[in-house]
Homo-oligomer: A and B are copies of this chain.
Amino acid sequence: MKREEKIPARTIERLAIYRRQLLELKSNRLSHIYSHQLAELANNTPAQVRRDLMIIGCSGGNPKQGYGIDYLLNSINSILDNDKAGQIALVGVGDLGKAILSYSNYQRSTPSVAAAFDIDEEKIGKVIASCKCYPLSEMKTKVKELGITLGIITVPSVYAQKVTDKLVSAGVTGILNFAPATLRVPNNVFVERIDITMEIEKVAYFANEYSRLGK
């Protein structure tokens, strides 16, 4: 693939969303789409869609039919699905962990969760959404064995750093962290944090703001 110019984070996020929408359209046998339609589906503007496509070097649209859906999918895949993307390890098989297992492994999505880990004896050996649960002690070997490069942390905050260290020393280079904790990692490791409590507080704030000032 072309050596791109460094794609903005926001664009990457939107590409993932466009892709899902496009796959759905494709399964409905549609072949073309306009920027304003995709914008509608992704809840943004036509100009934003066109700019994102421009950024990834996608200029196969035409004024009378829009963009070919297959063409867009190929372009987006070539950006998002990097060659040697590894599998995912999920640590912490509580309610949240189970939710992620059962809905990341049923959606069409590379990468997928290849192994789950927990300390609870009860859970070890169980299979949830076709993903087996191992004890933490086996992390290093399983990560190697299954070609895992990413981790999802769904353990209570107190354990989050310990789990992070284990993942990193096993060779993981990307982490999605659901624990409300700031993780220390070497700076070749990418961490994304999802803080649900914070999101709730944010919604509370802006819901109020909207009704005060009418958006």
Contact = CB atoms under 8 A, between A and B. Distances in A.
A25 to B, nearest CB: 13
- Specify the main secondary structure of chain A where it touches its partner: helix
A11 to B, nearest CB: 10
Interface of A: 9, 12-13, 16-17, 20, 41-43, 79-80, 82, 84-85, 88, 94-96, 98-100, 102-104, 107, 109, 111, 149-150, 152, 173-176, 180, 182, 187-190, 192, 194-211, 214-215
Number of identical protomers? 2
Nearest to A210: B190
Contact of A202 (B95, B152, B192): B192
Contacts of A107: 197
A188 B211 contact: yes
A200 B88 contact: yes
A215 B187 CA distance: 7
Given A16-B197, A95-B99, A199-B192, A85 B150 contact: no
B109 A201 contact: yes
A196 B176 CA distance: 9
A164 to B, nearest CB: 13
